[in-house]
Every structure is written in C-alpha cells, then in structure tokens.
Structure 1
Amino acid sequence: MGVFTLAMINVSAIVSLRGMPAESTYGLSSVFYYIFAAVFFLVPVSLVAAELTTGWPQKGGVYRWVGEAFGKKWGFLAIWLQWIESTIWFPTVLTFAAVSLAFMGPGQRWDEALAANKWYVLIVVLCVYWAATLLNLRGMKTSAGVTKWGTIIGTIIPGAILILLGLGYWAGGNPILLDMSWDKLVPDMSNFNNLVLAASIFLFYAGMEMSAVHVKDVNNPGRNYPLAILISAIITVLIFVLGTLAIGFIIPNSQINLVQSLLITYDSYFSFFGLGWMNWILALALAVGVLAQVTAWVGGPSKGLYQVGLAGNLPPVMQKRNKNNVQMGILFIQGGIVTLLSIMFVIMPSVQSAYQIISQLTIILYLIMYMLMFASGIYLRYREPNTPRTFRIPGGRTFGMWIVGGLGFLASLAAFLVSFIPPNQITVGSSTMYILLLVVGTFIFAGIPFIIHAMAKPSWKRPVDPEDAFEPFGWEKNNDSHSAATPSHSISHE
C-alpha cells in the first residue's frame, strides 16, 4: 500500500460532506471551530498516532498502545470503543446515502419528501450497509480499491465541485446569505448551548488513527505513514472550511436541515448556473462516497478488534473468519447491531432527532477512546523511553509530547462534557430524555468490554497461524524475564 492509497483511506475515514450543514449554522464562526479543532484535536491525534504506530507497529492498534501503557483491560476498552462507536455511527452516515439517492428524483419537493420518509431511509441504510459488509468479506484488496476510488469519486470530486460553485457564486457578486463581517469570525462563547453542535466537529476529524491497523501493509511505514497523515490532514481541513462556507453562501441559516441541506445546496447552485442536469449525477456520486466511507469503517475497527480477539480477549464466535481471512464473526454481529439501531429511525419522532442522538453518543464514546490514547502517548514516554520510534513528536524527551498530547486530552475532555448538553439549534424532544439516553447509552456501551474481560476464559485463546499470532506486550516480556529470575514475584497489568 502506497502513500496515496493510505491517504485516501484516511480521507475516506475522516471527510464526510454530510456533516457540514451542522457547522454551517454557525456562519463565519464555523471557520474558527474548524481551525480550533484542527489545532487542538486533528493535529494532536495525527502526531500522537504517528508516533505510537511507528513505535509499536505490532498488531492491535489502540489496544496495543493503551495496553502497553495501562494494561490489557484498558487496552481492550479502547479498541472496543473504537469498534462500537463506528458500529452505532453507521445509521447516521448511511442516512446521508439515503438522502443522496432520494435527490436523484424528478424534483426538489419530491426529493425532500422521499428523503424524510422513515421507511425509505431504513431500507436504504440496511441495503448500503450490508453491501459494504459483503465487499469487506471479499478481502482487503477489494475493500481498499473500493475505498480509494469511491473516496475520489464520492468525496474529493463533489467537495471540489461544491467549493468551486461557492467561489464562483461569490466572485460573481451575487448576494451572499452568510454574514462575512470579520467580527463574526470569533463565536459568542457566552451561550454555552452554542458549543454543543460545535463539539461535533471533533467527530469530523476523528479516524486518523484507524489506519494504524494497516501499518504492516504500508511500504516503508516510518516515512510513508506520517506523510500520508499530513496529506490527508491538509485535504480534510480545506474541504471542510471551504465547503461549509459554500453552503452558507446560498442556504439561509434558519432553513438548514442536518440531513438534507447539502443536497439542497447542490441543487440551488446547479439551478443558478443552469446545470440542473448534474443533480442526479452528483447525488449518485455522494452515495458512492458514503459506500466508500462505510466500507473503510466496516473493515478497519472490526479488523483491529479481531486481531485483539485472537489473543483470547473475545469469545470464539467473534474469532471466526472466512477463506479470505476476514473477520466474519465480528462483521455479522456488527451487522445485527446496525440493523437494530437503524430501526430507531422509525421509532423516533423524526429522522433528524434520531440522527442527532446517535451522532452525540458516537462522539462521547469515541472521545473516551481518544483520551486513553493521548494519556498513553504521554505515559509511554516515561515507561518505555528507549523504545525505537521512527517518528517522534519534536520537543525533547517529554516536553513536546506533553504539549501535543496534553492539548489533545484536554480538548477531548472538554468536548466530552459538552456533548451531553441538548443543542438549541435542533429539536430533540424532551431534554431530560435526551440526556438520559446519552448517559445510559454511554454506561452500557463502555461497560460491556469490562464484562467481557471479566468473563474471559483460557479456552478463548486458541492456536492460530504464526502470522496471526498476537505479539506479547513489552511489559509481559519483562514480567516473563523477571519471573524466570525471581519466581516468587510477579506484576499484574490486567
């Protein structure tokens, strides 16, 4: 796997045009939020993940990193959260695919009505998700190809078209619905509720560490992995900032809908420039982009969890694989969870309310994992300072890591706390029920890995091929050496 392919996998995992309408509600201040989140989250995640990946390139991803620092139990929590948050996230991103396909219809009014139909959304969500699962079951070569070309067709090109349309509209002296006054750049921090949707921008930038599970498939990972991260980070920020402004140029703030506004934006621009015939082509391209993104996320976190399961951390049913060496057991269990969660779109008062609740729960769970990752990066500078790292965060023995990792941890913690507050901009029903659902969901999904870890049996660890074997942690090797020298003493990292 080369730099370009890895960068496209990163972009497909991170960039989703569907999320830009949410930030467009903030007007010009959305630029501030994007840059703020990039500095305090995207850059720290990228740098810390690059150091941890090149320092501990063995299988396991975040499980390896957190486990090296704090033990198996916390490592398992980290990899579980990465997997489960992506699992419950699928219905939200697939809703965007349903909306995209709906906008291939005969007219905007018909398109909007179909996109708001809950049963239509449910059917499309399940069809696209299971299509992505079947692609992953065919193996890494197939899924990587779909991800790379699907990202180019469905994310990079549509993002570039949106930006060019917005710039052309603005350069033509047409009325801009977005207040471009410089005093609007810095947001009003006095209204605490305004920060809730802004906190969701952290999820926009999440996923850079996911490609760590593919590190052994990369040519010259010490050089190419950090380079791919840099390329994908630059592309990500440019698409988000310019694309969000383009939406605000032509869609009134009061009319922004989280699910439909992006497609309405394209429709409005195409109508203005006399390119209405491109609507269905663009809608289809966006749906392809979602398929590519889902394909990347179906395979990435589940592969990491599977690698960890082979070490005896998961029951045998979750260790099953097919003839293509793909984690079949986990993928089918994941599919069952996605199917059940998708039914929420039929039960909830509206597609938009379900969309918001699931999105916030996804953010909360993912931020817990990121806090564990940042803490591990810092702690391992002390615990294993001499472990070779092909890429190291500059700044001496610990100073640079404290600055980068510390900023990332504090930003993640702040976003985590804010995420429980109901947003003013979206109707989610009862505020009490909204908070209760998030709190209960967090405890349930974050508590499951501790239960699984406590129930683990020696029989769960079964013989595997040498190339699938999970290499012991550094502290396990040290403990074995210590036990051989002094049998009466041992240190537990469970």
Structure 2
Amino acid sequence: MSTENKPSSGSKSGTIGVFTLAMMNVAAIVSLRGLPAEAEYGLSSVFYYIFAAVFFLIPVALAAAEMATAWPQKGGVFRWVGEAFGGRFGFVAIFLQWMQNTIWFPTVLTFAAVSVAYIGMDPSSDSALAANKMYTLAIVLVFYWGSTLMNFRGMSLSGAISKWGTLIGTVIPAAILIILGILYYVTGHTIYMPLHASDLIPDLGNFSNLSLAVSIFLFYAGMEVSAVHVNEVDNPEKNYPLAILISAGITVAIFVFGTLAIGFVIPQKDINLTQSLLVAYRNLFQAFGLEWLSPVVSICLALGVFAGVNTWIAGPSKGILAVGKAGYLPPILQRTNKHGVQVNILYFQSAIVTILSVIFVLLPSVQAAYQILSALTVTMYLIMYMLMFAAFIKLRIKEPNTPRPFKVPGGELGMWLVGGVGLISAFAAFLVGFIPPGQIPVGSPTEWVGLLVIGNLLAVGVPLLIYHSRKESWKTAEGSDSFEPFSWQKETYAPAETSKK
C-alpha cells in the first residue's frame, strides 16, 4: 500500500514479465489474518470473495493502471485525485491512505499477539492468554515500537526483514494451510462446514451479516500499488490486464481455500476472529500427527506480521513525507534523521497507534476492538477509493487527450463500466461498514456507529484543516524540485514559469 508512485525513469519497457507482475500483486495483497472473519459465512464466503474481486479488485487495478501511465509523476493517488479535483482533495486522499494504514497496525498486531500466545503446547492456556486484553496490549506496543525504532536506522535491515519475513511468515504458512485443508477433506475427516450448493449464495437480506463481509474489500486493497510498474511491462495494453487476471485468480484461490480449510476444522459457532487461524493449524496438525509443527507455524506467522508491519511503517509515511515537502505538511513533520528517515512522522504515527491500542482495554473484548478498528480502517480506505474512482472518470472526461500507454479497454463504455462499478461498489461497502456485526458483541449499535462516524469525520477533517492552514514556508526546495506541478497548474502558470527561465 505504498503511497509513493514514483516513475521508473530510464527503465526499459518489458523488464517485468506478466507472471512476475502477477506475483508482485499477490505479495502486496495476500494476508492470512482475516480468513476467520470470512469463515463465519461458511460456503457463502466463496461468493463474497468472487463478488469483491469482480466488482472491486479488478476495477481498482485497471483504473489505477490507466492513471499511473498517464500521470507517472510522484504522488500516486495524491497526483491522480489532485489532477481531477485539486490539491485539497488530493491531500485528503493520500492522508486517508496513510491514516488507514496507521489504524491497521493495532488490528494486525493483535494477530501477532495471538500467534505468540499459541507458541505453547497447552491449548486451553494458550487460548486464555490470547484473549487477555492486557497481554494483547503489551505485545502490540512492544512489536510496534520495536519495529519503529528499527526503521529509524534506514531501509537496509528493514528490507531484509520484510523480504524473508514475508516468505517465511505468509507464503509458506498459506501453502501449508491450503494443502492440509485439501488433504483433510479428501481423506474423509469430519467436515464442520456445510457444503450444500444452496449454501453458496448468501442471504443478502440479512444486513447484520454484511458488516463482516465488507471486510473482504480491504482484503483486496493495495492492488493500485502495482500500477506504478505498468510502464515496465511489455505490451501493457494486453499484458497488464492479463497479469491482473492471473493475480486476481491466485489471490481469490488462496483466500477461498484458506477460508474453507478453517471452516472444515472449526464449527461456525466456535470461530474466533483473532484466534481461529491458529486453532485451525493446530487441529489440522493433530489430524495428521504433526502437532510439533503448531508452535513452529505460530512463530512463522508472528514473524510474518512483524515483517509486514516493518514494511508498512516506513512506506506510506515516506509517501506522505514527499507530499508534505511540496508544501502540504508543517516543517515539524518534515524532519528526517541522518538516514533520511521521517522520524517525526513516525513518532506521530506511533502516538496514534498507542492511543488506539488502548481501545483493546476499553471495549468488551479483544474481538470487539479488533472488529471496530478493522471497520474504521475499511471505511476510511473506501473514502480514498471513492475519490480515486471519481478521479478516473473525471480525468477521462476532462483530459481525454492526455497520452495513456495503458487505457482501460472498451472506450467510453469501458470507462463508465470500470469507474462506475468501482465507485458504486466502494460507496455501498462504505455504507454497509456502519452496520454492527450480528456475530460479535461490540457494545451498543449506537456506540459502534458513533465511533465510526467520529473516526471518519476526523480522518477527513484533519487533512482539510491542514490544507487550509498551509503556508508558503512549508514548501522545501527539495519538494518543489521533485514534485511536478499539476497539469492545471502548468496551464495557469505557464507564462510565469517561462519568464523565470
């Protein structure tokens, strides 16, 4: 979910193959921690995964690819939304992209805490520890602050941790889960998930169920990141959509079979959003006499979370730093250390994470805190996606002659289909996100909706306030040099720029 869409100047066309790009997409998107939430829906989870892929994942990737090739300058979603609606809303978009990532940290680190708790070999004591709110809070803060301090030293160490941690903590555990789940099914073990054809289509009239289902949209968030590489793909008009379809297929397959594996071994009534992935591994290992692997996988999953957090602590904050130096953040938030790391932004980010983590103590359960922070993350990110899709549509209308090395096929109809479907889907998912889940105790519905409304208003209001308060002195020479003006700025200020030359 990197926010810095830096053009690959000087790179030769065709340096990235179709399969390589597809794997980059899969690596950016796939995470196992959210699978138990969808296992709540049994076989109907397959419907939700495919629905979200068709109506959200693919439109995001195609729209972002077109805008990235037309406007490959720094800024990513800031550049695209800013070109369409001005710097104010461009800044709101990138702020939301950074802020939702910040709120995401406590939820993903909750999963790390559960993984650490399950390193032991006593299921009852492991489960009790994982459900302990003070334990969860302590692990979240230790993991997060430790990773933040590590990032202060630059990207060399952090990059190595991210690379190997992703392989060991995500790719290998995903393969183990899916392979054992398939073996569990074909070898005739007891299957707890009903597998009737009628269970495939969910009851879409039950709105209380949709709150958890909407989290699938966040599962697929981040596909826009790969759009920065579209200029490096040979014959992008043909090969980029092909890479999208391949990566979408692989991603859906991992999510579907991983979710089914959990449902096979855990009854629906016993599914726990924060613990069931580890319980599923333990049950599968017991079924095949591999109990000794349970703590090993727990360690691997914790390492995977640490690697992911380590990666995303620096990435999006570095993107908003680059935008900030162009005059959108006060000087105090632009400060970097000798390694070029945005230390004050990271301190500010860490303060937010610390405050949010305390919610784990205030809400009725760890599950409740996990779910409400997840819902806030989803709704904030969907606001950004609504701005992105609206920008895609407007730029096609406003700047039809801007060269687009990759263009969504189908002409005007293709534009409306991709942009319209994406925009409507994001808006519908945003509204559904405010419905309290029926399966999890999260306090009163009024408190649930109130917290989400306040959180989203703050997330949009803060960047608008910062933008309104910006001063010319905030702009640095480095920021001015590295950030090209928007197209509409070039048209407005072309005479002045020419005279200065």
Q: TM-score, normalising length from structure 1? A: 0.92
Distance 1:5 1:91 in 2: 31
What letter is aligned with 1:22?
A: A
Deviations 1:20-57 (A, max 9, x none): 11111111000000000000001111111111122211
Matching residue of 2:430? 416
Distance 1:432 1:208 in 2: 34
Matching residue of 1:242? 257
Distance 2:325 2:241 in 1: 28
Q: Confirm whether residue 429 of structure 1 aligns to residue 471 of structure 2.
A: no
Matching residue of 1:402? 416
Matching residue of 1:262? 277
Distance 2:160 2:233 in 1: 20
Matching residue of 1:363? 378
Distance 1:431 1:347 in 2: 16
Whether the 8 Å CA contact 1:54–1:389 is kept in 2: the answer is: yes
Comparing 26-35 and 456-465, the one that deviates more: 456-465
How far apart are residue 130 of structure 1 and its match? 2.5
Distance 2:224 2:280 in 1: 32
Within-5 A mapping of 1:29-428: 29-210=44-225, 223=236, 232-396=247-411, 398-428=412-442
How far apart are residue 442 of structure 1 and its match? 1.1
Distance 1:191 1:144 in 2: 44
Distance 1:132 1:7 in 2: 28
Comparing 366-375 and 14-23, the one that deviates more: 14-23
Matching residue of 1:440? 454
Classify 1:367/1:75 alpha carbon distance in 2 versus 1 (closer, same or farther; 3 Å). Answer: same
Matched residue SS, 2:82: helix
Matched residue SS, 1:17: coil
Matched residue SS, 2:383: helix
Q: Confirm whether residue 471 of structure 1 aligns to residue 474 of structure 2.
A: no
How far apart are residue 483 of structure 1 and its match? 7.0
Deviations 1:120-176 (A, max 9, x none): 111211222223324433434544443332222111111111111110010011221
Q: Tell me how many residue pairs correspond in the alignment.
A: 482
Matching residue of 1:489? none
Whether the 8 Å CA contact 1:210–1:300 is kept in 2: the answer is: no
How far apart are residue 201 of structure 1 and its match? 0.8
Whether the 8 Å CA contact 2:322–2:479 is kept in 1: the answer is: no
Matched residue SS, 2:292: helix
Distance 1:471 1:462 in 2: 13
Distance 2:105 2:23 in 1: 19
What letter is aligned with 2:484?
A: E
What letter is aligned with 1:106?
A: M
Whether the 8 Å CA contact 1:9–1:296 is kept in 2: the answer is: no
Deviations 1:29-87 (A, max 9, x none): 00000000000001111111111122211111110000001000000000000001110
What letter is aligned with 2:223?
A: M
Deviations 1:73-131 (A, max 9, x none): 00000000000111011100110011001100131111111111112111211222223
Whether the 8 Å CA contact 2:121–2:295 is kept in 1: the answer is: no
What letter is aligned with 1:363?
A: V
What letter is aligned with 1:334?
A: Q
Whether the 8 Å CA contact 2:32–2:174 is kept in 1: the answer is: yes
For structure 2, which runs of at least 5 residues remain unmatched after alignment?
1-7, 9-14
Distance 2:321 2:21 in 1: 21
Matching residue of 1:460? 474
How far apart are residue 13 of structure 1 and its match? 3.9
Comparing 219-228 and 387-396, the one that deviates more: 219-228
Distance 2:234 2:226 in 1: 11
How far apart are residue 469 of structure 1 and its match? 1.9
Deviations 1:249-304 (A, max 9, x none): 11000000000000000000101110000011101111111122222322222122
Comparing 227-236 and 118-127, the one that deviates more: 227-236
Deviations 1:415-434 (A, max 9, x none): 00111111111111111111
How far apart are residue 321 of structure 1 and its match? 1.8
Deviations 1:325-379 (A, max 9, x none): 3322212211111111111112222111111111111111110000000111111
Classify 1:408/1:356 alpha carbon distance in 2 versus 1 (closer, same or farther; 3 Å). Answer: same
How far apart are residue 384 of structure 1 and its match? 1.7
What letter is aligned with 2:491?
A: N
Comparing 190-199 and 93-102, the one that deviates more: 190-199
Classify 1:122/1:420 alpha carbon distance in 2 versus 1 (closer, same or farther; 3 Å). Answer: same
Distance 2:478 2:403 in 1: 28
Distance 1:432 1:109 in 2: 34
Whether the 8 Å CA contact 1:54–1:222 is kept in 2: the answer is: no
Percent of aligned positions with the same letter in both sequences?
59
Comparing 103-112 and 384-393, the one that deviates more: 384-393
What letter is aligned with 2:351?
A: G
How far apart are residue 235 of structure 1 and its match? 2.9
